[in-house]
Amino acid sequence: MRRAALVTGASDGIGQEVARQLGRAGWDVAVHYNRNRAGADLTARAVAESGGRAVVLQADLSDPAEAMRLAGEYDAAFDRMDALVNNAGIVDRAARVEEMTADRLTRMFAVNLTAPFLLAGHAARRMSTRRGGEGGVIVNVSSVAARLGSGGQYVDYAASKAGLDALTRGLADEVAAEGVRVVSLRPGIIDTAIHGKGGEPDRANRLADRIPMGRPGTVHEIARTVLWLVSEDASYITGTTIDVSGGR
């Protein structure tokens, strides 16, 4: 039986590559996007070309009601949930904390923390053997920023990702005996379009000298780590966060 996963933020970058890798590994995938339908369609096509079933689902995760609608649409499209990859996230322009507005913070935490909380809760209900499920894996895509703080740049983003790490630890303890593993990974500086969305398209290469390995990471390297975490090769791993950061 083919396994099924929901990958949020799968229209480009890390999420797109995670969905592609899952498809190549024999998974069916729900491809979530917000605005980039063309990118989501490309992702779905790649999954289908690998022999998997792909369903494209739209939701604006800055609205909690939209996150729950996404969960319901996933349930309508798939009769099982073996993995949730909470990948969708946003970053804003670099700023000091004293410059951050309530609107900025509300949106940042809604997308990066509230939506993952809601979706993880839904996944736990679907997967838990205590509720009749067959178990599964929840992967939260955090960031090295969670432990660095990102002072003078993105403290709000760092704080939202630190909250995601706390979700990983706490939820893992709740469902460890119910067949559900909860893990997270913290990418370092990865060469993706998110830097451009924060107003610094050259950021990954510009900061390469701060990385012990001397280069930014790739979406492929992150996706392969996610693929391992949802596999049976990682069957005794839960409640922990793995840095994929080139030593940073």
Catalytic residues: 157
Start-to-end Cα distance in the chain: 39
Question: What tokens appear for 91 in the block?
Answer: 């970053």
Q: Where does residue 48 rank: exposed (0-12), middle (13-18), buried (19+ CB within 10 A)? A: middle
In sequence order, the 6+-apart residues with CB closer than 8 A to the CB of 14 are 87, 141, 187, 190, 192, 219, 222, 223
Q: Return the closest-CA partner of residue 221 out of 168, 185, 169.
A: 185
Q: Return the closest-CA partner of residue 135 out of 174, 177, 171.
A: 177
Q: Rounded CA gap, 186 and 176, in Å?
A: 21
Question: What tokens appear for 160 in the block?
Answer: 């939202």
Handedness of CA 113, 114, 115, 116 (dihedral sign): positive
Q: Rounded CA gap, 147 and 123, in Å?
A: 26
SS3 call for 22: helix
Q: Return the closest-CA partner of residue 69 out of 118, 110, 20.
A: 118
Handedness of CA 120, 154, 30, 183 (dihedral sign): negative
